[in-house]
Amino acid sequence: MRGFVIRWLVSAIALAVTAWIIKGIEIHGIFSLLIATLVLGILNAIIRPILLILTLPLNFLTLGLFTFVINAIMLLITASVVEGFEIHGFWAAFIGAIFMSIISTILNYFISDRGKFEIMIIKK
C-alpha cells in the first residue's frame, strides 16, 4: 500500500511539474492534482492497453512514437472528467505527455521496487 501511495505522489509531482512548464495545462488546487493523477492512473490501467493494441500497426510504423498520442488522449480524457484540471488543445496535451513521461522516468529512477526513496547505486 505504501508503494502505491509513493508512486501516486511521484505521478502527482510529475503532473504538477508538467503543468508548471507547459502553458496549456492548468491545475487549480492540490485536490484537483491528486484526483487528476488518480483518474489518469486508472485510465492508463484500463483504457490505454486497449488503445495500444488497437493502434499496434500504427505504433509499429512510427517506431513507438504514436504512444505519445495515446498518452495525450489519456490526458485529454482526464481533463474532461476532473474539475479543476484543464488542458487547452491537443498540442498542449501532446507536449505535456512527453514532459510527463520524461519527468516520471527521472523520478521513478530514485524509487526502489519496495516503494522506498533511495538512490540506486551501481557497484563495480
Per-residue pLDDT of the chain (124 residues), as tens digits, is: 777 888 888 899 999 999 999 999 999 999 999 999 999 999 999 999 999 999 999 999 999 999 999 999 999 999 999 999 999 999 999 999 999 999 988 888 877 655 455 555 555 5
**What pLDDT was estimated at residue 12?**
93
**What pLDDT was estimated at residue 1?**
73
Residue 122 in domain: no
Residue 82 in domain: yes
Query: Which residue type sits at 80?
Result: S
The residue segments making up the domain with residue 52 are: 2-109
Residue 118 in domain: no
The model's pTM: 0.83
83: left (phi over 0), alpha (psi -120 to 50) or beta: beta
How many structural domains is the chain composed of? 1
∠ CA 71-20-90, rounded to 5°: 35
Residue 123 in domain: no
